[in-house]
Chains A and B, each alone.
Chain A
Amino acid sequence: MTLLTTTINLAGAGGQVFPWELRVQPGEWHVVVARSGTGKSSAALALAGIDTQRDGAALPESSRRPMIAMLPTQSIWAVSLIGETTEDEIELGVGVTGARLPAAWKQWLIQKLELQHLLSRDVRTLSGGEIVRVALAILLARKPEILVIDQTLDACDPDARRQLRKTLAEWLQLTNAAIVEFATSWRDQDVTTTDSRLIVLTKHGYVTGLPAQVWKTLGDSASDFFEGLPGLAAQVTAGKASADLSVTIDALARKLAQVPPARTDDLKRNYETSLLLENLDFVYESSNFRLLVEHLALGTGECTAVVGPNGAGKTTLLRCLGNLIGPWRGHRAVHGAVLPADVPLHRVAQAVLYAFQNPDDEIYRGSVHDELFECRRNLRPQEDGISPIEQLILEDLGFDPMSSEPPFSLSLSRRRLLIIASTLLARTRIVLLDEPTAWLDPLQKRGLGCALRRFLGIGGTILMVSHDLDFIGRSADRVVTINNGRQLPETVSEMLQTPAAVLAERAGISPMLWKESDCLRALGAVPRSS
C-alpha cells in the first residue's frame, strides 16, 4: 500500500524547474537533505498540501489525500496559543477538529515526549527544544498518516534529538504512518529506523537510491558533494545510479574525508581575560528557575561554547551577560573594569554585543549594506570603512558589503548570517552568539567558523550557546557546561582536542571554494561533469 505518490516542481539553477517524484509508504522515514536556498521549505509546504502551486501532480479526484501534519521550521507556529497551558494546547490539537483526545493516547504522548513537567506551563515560556516536543504532541494527537518535518529537530540538544527520533520511530511502528523530514545536514546516527530513505535535493536534480554505505561515507557533506558536482547529481537523479557509479562516489567521498591530523599545540595558549563573571545569581520569578555561575573567565582571542540540555539556563547566562534580563547579582568586569548590572543596555552593547537567535527581531533596514553596518552606526558612528579582515569576514559569510538586496528577501539562514555579520562588524570585541548555527547548512557553518576564527584573530572574544557539537568541536576552544541552572566543572572533552585553527585544513581547501566543482575534480578520480 502506498500512502502518497506525488511530484513536486522544484526551482533549479538558471530558472529551470525539475520534477521531484516521491512515493511514501507506511513505516518509511524519508530524510531529504539540501543546502539552504534549495527550496526545502517550499517543497515541504507542497508535500503537506499547503503550497498547491508547487504540487506538480494534483491527485485525481478519486484519490484520497492522506492526513498530513506539518512541523514547521519554527515549531511555535504549530501551536495555536489559544490555550493557557501546554495541556490545553495538546487537547486543542484534536479539539480543533471537533473531536476529543482519547485519554490513553494523550498519556502515551505525554509520557513518550516527556511533557509531564510542562503540562501546567504557558507554552510561550518554554525553551526552543521544549516547544518542539509540545508541537509534536499537538500534531501527533490527531494521528496523521504522514508527518512532514521542516528542519525543526535542529532546535533540540543532541540527546533530546536522539530521544525524539526514537519516539518518532516508535510512533511509526505503532501507527504505520510515515515521516518525511527535511534537513540541512544529515548524520549517520540520525537514522533510527531501518526503513529510512535518504534523498539529496540539489539545484540540478535529486539524488536517491544510493547504497547505505555510500551515504554513510558522504555523511553531512552529501548535499555539498552533489551540489558541487552537478553532472554527477544529474547522473544519479531519480535513483538511477549504477553500481559502478556508486563505487566511484564512495571512493571520492572517502578521499575527501581524508583530512590532516589535528594539531594540539594551540590548546595550550594562554589567554588574557577580557570578560570576567563571578557569583552570578539570577532567578526567574515566574518559574523560580535559578541560575548560579561561580566563575567564568573569557579570554581575548578565545571562543567559549556553552552547552547543556534544553532549559538548562544557557541562553539565560548569555542574556545576563548582555543585560537583557535582570536584575541579577554578581560581579562582571570587562578588561578589568567593572561593568555593573544596572548599566543601560546600549552602553553594555559597546563592551559586550549580543546577537539574537531570531534575526527578524533585529532587521529593519532596506538593504543588506545598511543592515551590515547598523550596529556599527549605533555604537561607533565616527568609525566608517571596512578593514581587510572585515572584508574577509564578509566573504566567509557570503555577503557583498555594497549589496542593495532587501534583507527580507533572503532565506532565514542568510538573514541569520546577516545579523551575525553585523555583530562582528560593530567593532565590539566581546560577542555573545545565541545558537549561531541554527538553520545553517554545512557550507554556511564552515564559512561561519572561518569568520569567527578571523574575528578572534583580531582580538575578539566569543561566547556562544549551541547544540551543534560538530560546530563546537571545530570552532570552540573551550566548553562550559550548564545543567539545571548550575555550572558544571569545566572539562575539555576528547571532541575538543581539535583546535579550531585547523578548520580550513579539515576540508583540505578553502571553505568558500568547496562549492566549486573544480576543487573536487582536482582531488582526482572524479567523472567529468557535463
Chain B
Amino acid sequence: MHNSDDKSCSIPAGAALIWTIGTMATGAAISGPRASAWLALLTCAAAAVLTNGVGVLATICRVTLPLAAGLLVVHGVVNPSFPSTVTWFGWFHLRESGLSYAVTLSGRLCIIAAGLLLWRYTKRTHVLAFFQSIGIPTRALCMLAIAGTSLSLFASRGRAVQLAQQARGLDLKATLLARFVALPRLVVPVVTASLIDAEHRGVLMEHRGFGRQGLVLPDRWTATAPATTVSKVLIALLPPIAAVAVRCLQ
C-alpha cells in the first residue's frame, strides 16, 4: 500500500488524501456526469506522473488497458443486451451504447488504478503525521497504521510462500490447470501464517499498551512531512471546488 522506498518521491500526504478521496468518491458515486470522472482521472494521473515520473503512467496503462480492452470487446461487440448499431459480414455487431458503457467502466478502473498508485507513492509516516495533525483519534490512527502495514506484510508473506512452495518443487509456470490446482498450496500457508502472525503481533501490541494512552510520533515525521498546512487548506477548499467543477462540466 504505502511505499517505504526512499527512491519514491514523497508527495504531501494531505494532497494524496484529497486526491484519493475526491477521485474515488467521484468515480464511485457518479454514473451520469461522466465529465467529472474524466476530470478526476486526469487529476490523479497528473499528480502521480508529476510526483513520480512518466513511469507511473506506463504502470497505470499496464494495469488498466487489458481490462479495458476486455470490457470494450464484451460490451461493445458481444453483449446482446445492448442494441446493434452496425453489422458487418452478417455476424459482427458493433454496439454503440455498449461501447459507451465500457468506456465508462474503463474510466473508473483507471481512476481506481491511478488513486492506488498515488497512495502507494505517499510515505506512510507522512500520512500518519498528517492525520494526527488534523486531529484523528489515536486509536483510529493506530488501526489505520496497522491496516496499512498489514497489507504489505500480507503481500510479502505471499511472495515468501510462493518461493517456499516452488523451492519444494511446485511448478508455477506449468499449464493453467496445474496453476489452478496449485492455488491452495499458496493460499493456505499465506492465510494460516498471516493469521498466526497477526494474532501474535496484535496480542503483544495490546500488551504494550498500543494506542491506549495516545501515540507520540517521532519528531522527524512531522518535520519532514511536506506541505501539511497547504494540505489542510486544500481539504477545506475541496468541497466547493469539486461542486463548481461538476456544475461547470455537466
Contact = CB atoms under 8 A, between A and B. Distances in A.
Interface of A: 48-50, 69-70, 72, 74, 77-78, 80-84, 87-88, 91-100, 122, 124, 142, 322, 324, 344-346, 349-350, 353-354, 356, 358, 360-364, 374-375, 378-379, 408, 422, 426
Contacts of A84: 4, 123-125
A70 B153 CA distance: 22
A356 B167 CA distance: 9
Nearest to B149: A81
Nearest to B211: A96
Contacts of A48: 207
A72 B184 contact: no
Interface stretch (B20-28, B103-111, B156-164): B156-164
Given A69-B208, A77-B200, A78-B204, A361 B215 contact: no
Interface residues of B, number: 53
B149 A82 contact: yes
B226 interface: no
Contacts of B124: 82, 84
B193 interface: yes
9 closest cross-chain pairs (CB), A and B: A378-B169, A98-B214, A98-B213, A364-B188, A379-B169, A361-B164, A345-B166, A95-B216, A360-B193
B146 interface: yes
A96 B215 contact: yes
Contacts of B204: 50, 70, 72, 77-78
Interface string B214-249: 111110110000000000000000000000000000
B132 to A, nearest CB: 11
18 contacts: A48-B207, A74-B200, A84-B4, A88-B218, A92-B218, A95-B216, A96-B208, A96-B215, A97-B208, A98-B138, A98-B215, A124-B156, A344-B171, A350-B169, A360-B193, A361-B157, A375-B169, A422-B168
Contacts of B208: 69, 93, 96-97, 142
Interface string B162-179: 011111111111000000
B5 to A, nearest CB: 8
Nearest to B218: A91
Residue from A74, A92, A94, A422 having most chain B Cβ neighbours under 10 A = A92
B250 interface: no
Nearest to A94: B216
B203 interface: yes
B81 interface: no
Contacts of B201: 77, 80-81
Contacts of B192: 360, 363-364, 408
Contacts of B211: 96
Interface majority SS (helix, strand, loop, mixed), chain B = helix
Nearest to B146: A82
A346 B166 contact: yes
Nearest to A124: B156
A366 to B, nearest CB: 9
A362 B165 contact: yes
A415 B125 CA distance: 37
Interface string B112-137: 00000000000111001000000000
A378 B188 contact: no
A378 B164 CA distance: 13
Contact of B210 (A77, A96, A350, A356): A96
Nearest to B141: A82
A349 B169 contact: yes
B178 to A, nearest CB: 11
A69 to B, nearest CB: 7
Contacts of A322: 167
Contacts of A361: 157, 160-161, 163-164, 189, 193
Interface in B12-69: none
A380 to B, nearest CB: 9
B196 interface: yes
A133 B210 CA distance: 21
Nearest to B184: A364
B205 A80 contact: yes
Contact of B125 (A88, A97, A350, A364): A88
A360 B192 CA distance: 8
A426 B125 contact: no
Contacts of B189: 360-364
